[in-house]
Amino acid sequence: MGSCDTIYSIYRENARIKWIDNAKSIGIVLVVLGHLLPNDNLLKTWIYSFHMPMFFIISGFLFTVNNYGIIERIKRRAKTLLLPYVIYFALSLMIYFVADFNLADVANKFIMLDSLTIWNSPLWFLYVLFFSEILFAAVHKLAKTDNARYIYIILSAFIGYVLYAILPIRHFAIEKIMLGSSFLAIGWYLKSSKIFEKIQAGSKKLMISLILIIVNVLVGVIINKPTISMYGFELNNYWLFFISAISGSAFLFLLCDTLIQSKLMKIYASGTLFIMCTHYIVVFIYNNIVDRNSLPWYITTASSIIITLIIFTMYIPAIKIAERWFPLLLGIHYKQKIIK
């Protein structure tokens, strides 16, 4: 197995984690729906208030300490993060050529020199997650106590704020890497401190869930608007975004813990990376056909939901084929075994 299972390849040595599979499945549905919804849509604003940080938090929750060093960890994560990034980037170039975009900056987009990637923008997640993971792994190894690691959560969040509001550096996605590393550290904290485990088993789970969703909607939808973008690093109020991201993610985790784990959820959970990196092709085509901003919100919202359902129906056989013949497209190294 790799050094730490990430949001799209959660194949633990003994069993899957039910609520994480559910969270991954719902999360990737929200990603696709969010890209289909028009701007200034309240549902889109809510989705963007937490959906990408949630994936980093899950990765942190699944972070495991192994006996090998940083170099070996880099090699392992490169196989399941950077290699798929290269493959999907290369595939995306085909449409890049057809659409007659400026090809002079392809190399710059590949290394995210200006913190932006190619037209298939969801690819940024693979790039940023890789470096966020390696950064946190290095901190975890250097820090000798959990208290010192907890401090890193505050430190990385503050550095992210500095890069956002004081010294707006936009090169190599360093600002997103710091923010992603902070969310990843939060996920690790939820597991190591057993806070989430206690809430799951406690009698106040429902009350805490209601508080979390109220905070998320109040802060992320009503106060910190318009729609934010972690990719574009357009967060409005940085600290309010932080609050809405954590509260929204935690609410979804608790919700997913109460849901039954269906076979469909397992399929989408195993294909999260595949969906993340390919759905934008459909979005690209849709956006060039439909002028969503000229339609009433209720029409565009309904049509976006319908198209999302169609897309995910089509992904069922596609994921099955990828699992059998092209596991690397799912972020799975050929030596890994998928646990059903």
Per-residue confidence (pLDDT) for residue 96, from 0 to 100: 65
Q: Give the mean pLDDT of 14-25.
A: 83
With a CB cutoff of 8 Å and minimum separation 6, the contacts of 87 are: 328, 329
Q: Which of 282, 278, 276, 274 is nearest to 321 (CA)?
A: 274
Q: Residue 37 in contact with residue 299, Cβ under 8 Å? A: no
Answer whether residue 332 shows pLDDT above 70.
Answer: yes
Q: Is the model's pLDDT at 45 over the cut of 70? A: yes
> Does the pLDDT at position 293 exceed 80?
no
Query: Are residues 78 and 130 in contact, defined by beta-carbon separation less than 8 angstroms?
Result: yes
CB-based contacts of 194: which residues, under 8 Å, 6+ apart? Answer: none
Angle of helix 272-287 relative to helix 263-270, nearest 10 degrees? Answer: 80
Tokens of 192: 């190591």
Query: What pLDDT sits at residue 99?
Result: 55
Which range has the worst mean pLDDT, 43-47, 98-102, 105-109, 184-188? 98-102
**Directed axis angle between helix 272-287 and helix 124-142, to 10°?**
150
The pair of structure tokens assigned to 291 is: 């002028």
pLDDT at 9: 40
Average pLDDT over residues 241-259: 96
pLDDT at 98 > cutoff 60? no
pLDDT for the residue 281: 84
**Which of 336, 275, 299 has its CA nearest to residue 7?**
275
Percent of the chain with pLDDT over 70: 89
Please name the residue ranges forming H helices in the chain: 18-36, 42-48, 51-61, 70-77, 83-98, 106-110, 124-142, 146-161, 174-192, 195-201, 205-217, 238-258, 263-270, 272-287, 297-325
- Give residue for tokens 């209601």: 210
Residue at token pair 């990196």:
277
**Residue 134 · residue 73 · CB < 8 Å:** yes
- Residue 254 tokens read as 């608790």
> How remote is the C-alpha of 81 from its chain's centroid?
13
Task: Find out whether the peptide bond into 226 is cis, omega within 30 degrees of 0.
Answer: yes
